[in-house]
Structure 1
Amino acid sequence: MSGKSDPSGTPARAPRPARALDSLRERLRDTFWFAPAVGLVGAFGLWLALSGVDTWIVAHLQEEGAYEELGDLLTFAGDARTIVTTVSAAMMTFIGVVFSISLVAVQMASGQLTPRVVRIFVRSRISKLTLTVFLATFAFSLLVLTSYEGGAEPDPRRVTSAPLLQSLLTLGMVGLSLLLFVAYVSSTLRLMQVGPVLEHLTRESLRALARQPGGAQEEPQPGPGTAKVVHRERAGVLRGVAVARLVRAARRHGVVLRLVPRIGDFVVPGTPVFSVHGGAAPPSSALRRTVSVGVERTPDQDPAFGLRQLSDIALRALSSSVNDPTTAVQCLDRIVQLLAVAVRLPLAPLHHRDRRGEVRLVQQVPGWTALVDLAFEEIRWCAAASPQVTRRLLAGLDDLLLLATEERKEPLRRHRALLVEAVERAVPEAAGRAFALRPDRQGIG
């Protein structure tokens, strides 16, 4: 596959196997406290290290009798003290500005697009890095102030320490903070635009599709179920499963596990989460922490989530309160891009095997018809009266019909026929219907 490309123009790659720390990594990406906490701890550790080095430098110069050089260093440290004091006083105001920009951006994106895009800001690396550096600079500058000894002009013969390297690092962190602030504002302004947000969602969805291992339509299904494993944790959205741990547990107990809900389904305690085939259910200790449940869906193991978000943005754009068909056309561009990739994939139930090649875990994934319905059904209901959207939708369906195999053309033809019927009902004039039913990749350019 290394020499081929998918319809999106991205070189095709072999699916990446799930890693043991994927679940933890995704959970940390959905938090906004981890990176700043690490930054504060790092700032404290760095201050301890540099404080020791500064103390050693002063002691070494005193032992060598280099009091003139030590006096010059103390003068520099005294001059830098004013800057450090100013930084410590102003940095909290700077942090407040960053938070204000973030909240305004999140509010605008949530109102104009969909609340589900808020996670883009929460997971933004530049936002977390900027806040981390700002907080670390503020904490480090306060710690540096405690290293200064009293008196306007300390005696080089009696001084025990001087924050020389600490002051230099503070100045460097201030410069880094200014550069990050410019990068942060640029990134935030970009994420407030429709195009970059749709591109971000599409990239996430393409990565989720690439993670799906190739399945085969003729794979045998497991025999009749012999036991069930019910969900005993909190209620929530099934965000992912630890495939490697489940395969090991199933192999150890000589059974086949079938995941009953799909990734993205809402599960409640007491409902079955695994169907066991070929023996008794593994003990609860073997299946502990193999299922990740959260408050909302994530794209990591959920290839349909990207289509859901794109559809939501298009539906809001087509609502009477927003009335922005151009945004809906942009969403259709990305939807067609995703389906053009998915049309080449097997989209069969995933059969995860152990080292001996025996199937140990069966996982359901959305089929081709389900993806097409998710992409077009709701948009088609709202787009009949918007010729710009109907023209783009027809062009997208025609493009997908050219790419699809014969067995996958039926849902596309069905949606095309239903769209034509909807336009005929919504537009009474023959000329208007003819215009609205003319395929155009730009809608109305």
Structure 2
Amino acid sequence: MSDQEPPSVPPGPPRPPRRAPRYRALSPLREHLRESFWFAPLFACLGAVLLAGLTDLLDREIFAEAAADRTADTLLSFGTAAKSVVSTISSAMLTFIGVVFSISLVSLQMGASQFSPRVLRLYVRSRLIKATFATCLATFVYTLFVQLGYDDTTDPDRAVSVPIVSTVVALAMVLLSLALFVLYVQATLRLLRVPHVIDRVTRESLQVLQDIRWIAPDLAPETAQAPDAHPAGLTLLHEGRGGVLRDVNIRRLIRVARRHGTVLHLVPRIGDFIAPGTPTVVVVGGTPPRPRRITTALNVGVDRTMHQDLSFGFRQLVDIAIRALSPAVNDPTTAVQAVDRIHQLLALLAPHRLGALRHRDRDGAVRLVQPVPGWEATVDLAFTEIRICGAGQPQVTRRLTAALDDLLRITPEPRRPPLLRQRRLLERAVAEAIHDPDNRAFALAPDRQGIG
């Protein structure tokens, strides 16, 4: 073999800068409809009224053709039974709606007391619950309007219609309501079980990871500066209503920054509470836009959502864990199940650096810098409260120790200090809560099942 160096390959043309992912803006109207119970039942009832009118027309046409063929007596023989069926459905459906509504209220109450008030959004936003409630209401309204079109005459020459089609449709709607009710009960029972709720929150968090692409290469490198440190520039204040920042319209802010030839550094993070007068953006270079243009690009609401907010997923899991560790509940096994999923999410984030997202315009110029929680802040959110509340529970401390040890093995060296600090604080908390050396050593032994 020759000892000569291989010929160097000339560098190719520079690659164009990669653009940050295009995010789908959160629609306030869509979110309002998903979190409300009036939209689906209202339109279902309106549809039931229209359907009742349509079936009445069909019944009239069928009876008119039957009268012409002199078979109206045959239809009239079924009329009494059909009307009796519809009347029975109408009276029974109202009771059935009360049962469905009562189960919903009990589920909401149990979910709030057993898990966390933040988890109630899973019930409120459930499409199956709304579909079941809307279908039952539509069936009740439909049968009421069908009965309004009844004609009690027995003379075929004067009879207006016989509700044959209406009865068949009413029976079909009842069968659909029963099928949805069975699915609704099954879904409600799943939402009342801790593992399914924790798994649902975890899957939503994984979807957020995929949507906002925190592991995208167009990230500003992580620094050790304070979270509230921002470049020098003009600071614009919030002029809208106060509330939780649920979403930022990235495209609109990029257009505003491009039009004014500036770079906007967003101050609050997704999930922060902003009040009138709160700093929203720092304008660097160019001419500052009007604050109102920035305010209209911020979606402010009363509660956080999972849209672009991975920290909210951690917050829900932590809330479930510390509520389970409260003296009123005292369920460390549930806390261990929450730590399992926290461990899973942190393991996915561990190999990747985090930093402020840099959004570019179509020419590749950075126009918006959006802060995201760093690695240290995420680790603190994931472990601090559970460590404090569960220091006296060996099942929890052993699972926390196993999670921290595993994360230390897979995390790059520069990102281990927050995990090491959590490990030291865990040992100190256990030492303060458990004084016996043997029990303390047992409580700090790593175990993926807690005590298993």
TM-score, scaled relative to structure 2: 0.88
In the alignment, which residue of structure 2 is the partner of 1:211? Answer: 211
Distance 1:284 1:59 in 2: 68
Distance 1:376 1:293 in 2: 28
Aligned residues: CA RMSD? 2.4
Determine if the alignment matches structure 1 residue 139 to structure 2 residue 141.
yes
- Once the 2 structures are TM-superposed, how far is the Cα of residue 340 of structure 1 from its aligned partner? 1.4
Q: Which has the larger radius of gyration?
A: 2
Distance 1:161 1:399 in 2: 74
**What residue identity is the alignment partner of 2:175?**
G
Change (3 A) 1:361 1:51: farther
Following superposition of structure 1 onto structure 2, how do residues 84-163 of structure 1 map, counting pairs within 5 Å?
A: 84-151=86-153, 153=154, 155-163=155-163
- Once the 2 structures are TM-superposed, how far is the Cα of residue 77 of structure 1 from its aligned partner? 4.0
CA contact (8 A) 1:226 1:280 kept: no
Change (3 A) 1:382 1:66: same
- Once the 2 structures are TM-superposed, how far is the Cα of residue 278 of structure 1 from its aligned partner? 2.1
Change (3 A) 1:146 1:287: farther
CA contact (8 A) 2:63 2:75 kept: no
Determine if the alignment matches structure 1 residue 274 to structure 2 residue 276.
no
**What residue identity is the alignment partner of 1:142?**
L
CA contact (8 A) 1:258 1:363 kept: yes
Determine if the alignment matches structure 1 residue 343 to structure 2 residue 350.
yes
Among candidates 18, 33, 36, match of residue 38 of structure 2 = 33
CA contact (8 A) 1:314 1:328 kept: yes
Determine if the alignment matches structure 1 residue 184 to structure 2 residue 178.
no
Distance 1:326 1:19 in 2: 38
In the alignment, which residue of structure 2 is the partner of 1:331? Answer: 338
Identity percentage over the alignment? 52
**What residue identity is the alignment partner of 1:293?**
V
Change (3 A) 1:147 1:370: same
CA contact (8 A) 2:222 2:353 kept: no
Distance 1:143 1:20 in 2: 41
Distance 1:282 1:78 in 2: 73
- Once the 2 structures are TM-superposed, how far is the Cα of residue 426 of structure 1 from its aligned partner? 2.3
In the alignment, which residue of structure 2 is the partner of 1:201? Answer: 201
> Comparing 379-388 with 241-250, which one deviates more in the overlay?
241-250
> Comparing 86-95 with 132-141, which one deviates more in the overlay?
86-95
In the alignment, which residue of structure 2 is the partner of 1:404? Answer: 411
Q: How many residues align?
A: 427
SS at match of 1:239: strand
CA contact (8 A) 2:239 2:295 kept: no
Determine if the alignment matches structure 1 residue 175 to structure 2 residue 164.
no
Change (3 A) 1:416 1:278: same
In the alignment, which residue of structure 2 is the partner of 1:303? Answer: 310
In the alignment, which residue of structure 2 is the partner of 1:42? Answer: 47
Distance 1:56 1:229 in 2: 68
Distance 2:384 2:174 in 1: 52
Distance 1:419 1:386 in 2: 12
- Once the 2 structures are TM-superposed, how far is the Cα of residue 324 of structure 1 from its aligned partner? 1.2
Following superposition of structure 1 onto structure 2, how do residues 351-430 of structure 1 map, counting pairs within 5 Å?
A: 351-430=358-437
CA contact (8 A) 2:220 2:358 kept: no
CA contact (8 A) 1:23 1:240 kept: no
In the alignment, which residue of structure 2 is the partner of 1:5? Answer: none
Gaps (5+ residues) in structure 1? 1-14
**What residue identity is the alignment partner of 1:141?**
T
Among candidates 1, 19, 31, match of residue 24 of structure 2 = 19
Distance 2:119 2:75 in 1: 51
Distance 1:76 1:225 in 2: 83
- Once the 2 structures are TM-superposed, how far is the Cα of residue 388 of structure 1 from its aligned partner? 0.7
Determine if the alignment matches structure 1 residue 249 to structure 2 residue 285.
no
Distance 1:78 1:329 in 2: 62
Change (3 A) 1:148 1:226: same
SS at match of 1:304: helix
**What residue identity is the alignment partner of 1:49?**
L
CA contact (8 A) 1:223 1:278 kept: no
SS at match of 1:322: coil
